[in-house]
């Protein structure tokens, strides 16, 4: 994947021009009402803010890359600037060390210093009065606000008793969210008794991160590679185990369900109809996070802990279509009255690919395909298999059958002729994943890249089933923040559900993928606005604030962060959540937290 957040290619990213160009491409087709006009201005400004930020941290682009890197880890800009000044730009390790030291020192410093080490807490971000805005815009803003307010007023509200003193109540809620009492009270000590739960969780997360890094540095001081190593993961797991020992019943490892049907599927029905969300997860907006289910041990525990301790819903898409796809979803959506996309997709290979039936030998017992991945079997492979089969006539001996079946399962081969196996065609993958035919075709994308983009995508029917509950909640449509959009699985799902897409802010590193979504957007005659950005690490509070200000906040944040370093088929760099690409999960967390903060401040 060209998605690579820590490479040298940052220098090549030209925010202003690229984004303005993309906006310009969109605006003419969809700006009949002035809203788009506003958005254009806002996005341009947003980009300008980003570059201003880079400029203000002085000393050019490599510096800003550095700053962004640490911002991404959750340190405040002031601290980063300070650390860079002390250590110089060259030595990232010593900068990080300084940053962590500041964190440690802060606890003994004066109260004023306390807030400076908060993770990502936006400084007094508020919504300004919108006198200067056009009436069009005003209307849409109000409509949106009432949308989201309505939707949340009905949800179950806190059951914490009012008799408790404030700080004990806070400890209680934090404990409910899965933090230890020590962590909670330390956070309250540091942030003060008046601190909001969000502030407190921010602090705890920062502390946890720092702690993990600390262990790493203590034992590995000499040469550290920044892009997480296996050792780093091992140490992280060690830390997990230590924590578990300290508090055995508190830190239950997440286990995968069998059958993997989450809270239910269209065919299994809703097995679970009620769940209790942690308080912190009840606040708007709705969020939906996705990643591979079979991640290294401890990864889902960490992801869950960062996402307000919401339990993952593990679902295998083989219950929705003809191909397996084991994924975990963490979301705060209601789970009653879900409904599937119609028509229901074929759920066996022979129904999905009828032409294969004729050639399917009786000794191939498969009815479902395995997970659709990013690479396919080669022509040479299927040629070898054909020759092997031809040699032994109509009834291949056991060992040949086993050889063939092993390859079939490994490469998801299907029968297309006598003794002839073939990998799936890209349009067959599109169909299995629930995308319109030719969704990824043309526009300059190579076959190889089509497979890659598709292999990295959502299964649309599965995601749509989960998101279907939004249809009643937002009859007028939604504003969505789509992180790691890929080829637009969430967008397609919502569209097929008949949920209008008002404003979609989409962040996707691959230009080919952005083109795919853009072209889908045009072809489906979307009336809303599609706003593209390329790099999640560059999405900051200012940008979000401007965007949200323009259309009244997000109703939904969707994202599946990179699985490269989690996926089982990665033999080279399965480094866990700290891996080069997979660590972008922390940007999902960071951005979600920023959005929540902005939306909550707005209400007060």
Partner DNA sequence: ACTATAATGACGGGCTTA
Partner DNA sequence: TAAGCCCGTCATTATAGT
Q: Which of 135, 162, 163, 258 binds DNA (CB under 7 A)?
A: 258
Q: Which of 166, 246, 274, 447 binds DNA (CB under 7 A)?
A: 447
Residues 6+ apart with CB under 8 A from 121: 115, 198, 199, 202, 597
Q: Three-class SS string for 225-277?
A: CCCCCHHHHHHHHHHHHHHHHHCHHHCCCCCCCCCCECCCECCCECCCCCCCC
Binding to DNA, residues 273-312 (CB under 7 A): 290-294, 296-297
Binding to DNA, residues 475-494 (CB under 7 A): 484
Taking the least distance from each CB to DNA, the nearer of 315 and 333 is 315
Taking the least distance from each CB to DNA, the nearer of 325 and 347 is 325
> Phi and psi for 323 in degrees, rounded to 5?
-125, 140
Asked whether position 371 contacts DNA by CB under 7 A, the answer is: yes
User: Which one from 117, 321, 408, 563 is the annotated catalytic residue?
Assistant: 563
Asked whether position 145 contacts DNA by CB under 7 A, the answer is: no
Mark residues 309-338: x for contact with DNA by CB under 7 A, - for none.
---------------xxxx-----------
Q: Give whole-number Cα distances, 441 to 352, 358, 430, 454, 548, in Å.
A: 20, 28, 10, 11, 33
Of 486, 541, 487, 469, whose CA–CA distance to 478 is shortest? Answer: 469
Q: CB 247 → DNA: shortest distance, Å?
A: 20
Strands 326-331 and 286-292: antiparallel
Tokens 């002035």 correspond to 34
371 catalytic per annotation:
no
Residues 6+ apart with CB under 8 A from 92: 66, 69, 226
Taking the least distance from each CB to DNA, the nearer of 545 and 564 is 564
Q: Which of 409, 437, 527, 603 binds DNA (CB under 7 A)?
A: 409
Cα(562)–Cα(582) distance, integer angstroms: 5
Tokens 């909670």 correspond to 184
Q: Which stretch binds DNA (CB under 7 A): 194-202, 238-246, 442-450, 547-555?
A: 442-450
Q: CB 367 → DNA: shortest distance, Å?
A: 11
Q: CB 457 → DNA: shortest distance, Å?
A: 7
Q: Give whole-number Cα distances, 265 to 54, 184, 294, 321, in Å.
A: 47, 37, 20, 11
Q: Which of 381, 388, 400, 416 binds DNA (CB under 7 A)?
A: 381
Taking the least distance from each CB to DNA, the nearer of 54 and 449 is 449
Binding to DNA, residues 555-584 (CB under 7 A): 560-564, 566-574, 581
Taking the least distance from each CB to DNA, the nearer of 57 and 561 is 561
Cα(309)–Cα(276) distance, integer angstroms: 11
Residues 6+ apart with CB under 8 A from 586: 72, 73, 74, 306
Asked whether position 207 contacts DNA by CB under 7 A, the answer is: no
Q: CB 570 → DNA: shortest distance, Å?
A: 4
Q: Which of 196, 370, 519, 524 binds DNA (CB under 7 A)?
A: 370
Summarize as ranges the residues that interact with DNA (CB under 7 A).
1, 255-258, 290-294, 296-297, 324-327, 370-371, 373-375, 378-381, 406, 409-410, 444, 446-449, 452, 455-457, 484, 560-564, 566-574, 581
Task: Please list the active-site residues.
Answer: 563
């Amino acid at each position: 994947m060209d998605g690579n957040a820590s490479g040298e290619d940052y220098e090549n990213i030209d925010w202003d021009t690229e984004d303005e160009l993309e906006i310009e491409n969109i605006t003419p087709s969809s700006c009949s009402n002035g809203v788009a006009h506003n958005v254009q201005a806002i996005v341009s400004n947003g980009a300008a803010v980003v570059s201003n930020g880079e400029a203000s941290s002085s000393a050019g682009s490599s510096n800003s890359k550095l700053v962004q890197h640490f911002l991404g880890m959750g340190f405040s800009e002031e601290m980063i600037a300070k650390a860079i000044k002390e250590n110089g730009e060259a030595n990232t390790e010593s900068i990080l060390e300084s940053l962590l030291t500041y964190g440690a020192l802060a606890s003994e410093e004066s109260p004023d210093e306390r807030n400076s080490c908060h993770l990502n807490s936006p400084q007094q971000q508020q919504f300004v009065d919108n006198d200067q805005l056009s009436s069009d815009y005003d209307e849409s803003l109000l409509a949106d606000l009432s949308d989201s307010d309505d939707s949340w007023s009905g949800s179950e509200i806190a059951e914490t008793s009012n008799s408790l003193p404030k700080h004990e109540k806070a400890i209680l809620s934090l404990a409910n969210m899965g933090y230890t009492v020590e962590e909670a009270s330390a956070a309250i000590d540091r942030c003060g008794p008046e601190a909001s739960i969000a502030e407190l969780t921010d602090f705890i997360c920062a502390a946890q991160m720092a702690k993990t890094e600390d262990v790493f540095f203590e034992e590995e001081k000499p040469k550290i590679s920044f892009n997480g190593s296996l050792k780093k993961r091992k140490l992280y797991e060690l830390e997990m185990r230590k924590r578990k020992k300290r508090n055995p019943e508190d830190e239950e490892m997440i286990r995968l369900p069998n059958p993997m049907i989450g809270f239910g599927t269209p065919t299994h029905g809703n097995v679970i109809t009620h769940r209790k969300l942690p308080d912190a997860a009840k606040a708007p907006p709705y969020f939906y996070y996705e990643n591979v289910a079979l991640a290294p041990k401890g990864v889902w525990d960490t992801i869950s802990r960062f996402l307000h301790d919401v339990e993952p819903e593990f679902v295998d898409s083989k219950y929705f279509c003809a191909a397996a796809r084991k994924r975990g979803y963490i979301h705060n959506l209601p789970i009653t009255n879900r409904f599937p996309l119609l028509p229901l997709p074929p759920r066996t290979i022979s129904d999905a690919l009828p032409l294969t039936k004729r050639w399917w030998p009786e000794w191939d017992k498969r009815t479902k395909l395995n997970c659709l991945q990013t690479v396919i079997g080669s022509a040479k492979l299927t040629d070898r298999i054909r020759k092997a089969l031809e040699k032994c006539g109509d009834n291949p001996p056991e060992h040949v059958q086993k050889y063939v079946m092993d390859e079939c399962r490994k490469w998801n081969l299907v029968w297309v002729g006598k003794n002839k196996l073939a990998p799936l065609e890209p349009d067959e993958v599109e169909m299995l994943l629930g995308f319109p035919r030719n969704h990824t075709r043309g526009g300059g994308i190579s076959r190889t890249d089509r497979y890659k983009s598709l292999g990295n995508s959502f299964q649309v029917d599965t995601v749509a089933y989960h998101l279907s509950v939004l249809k009643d909640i937002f009859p007028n449509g939604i504003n969505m923040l789509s992180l790691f959009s890929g080829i637009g699985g969430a967008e397609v799902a919502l569209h097929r559900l008949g949920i209008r897409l008002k404003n979609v802010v989409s962040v996707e590193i691959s230009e080919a993928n952005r083109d795919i979504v853009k072209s889908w957007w045009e072809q489906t005659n979307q009336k809303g606005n599609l706003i593209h950005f390329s790099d999640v690490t560059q999405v900051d509070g200012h940008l979000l604030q401007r965007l949200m200000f323009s259309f009244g906040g997000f109703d939904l944040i969707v994202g599946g962060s990179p699985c490269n370093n989690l996926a089982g088929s990665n033999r080279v760099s399965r480094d866990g959540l700290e891996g080069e690409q997979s660590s972008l999960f922390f940007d999902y967390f960071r951005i979600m937290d920023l959005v929540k903060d902005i939306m909550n401040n707005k209400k007060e």
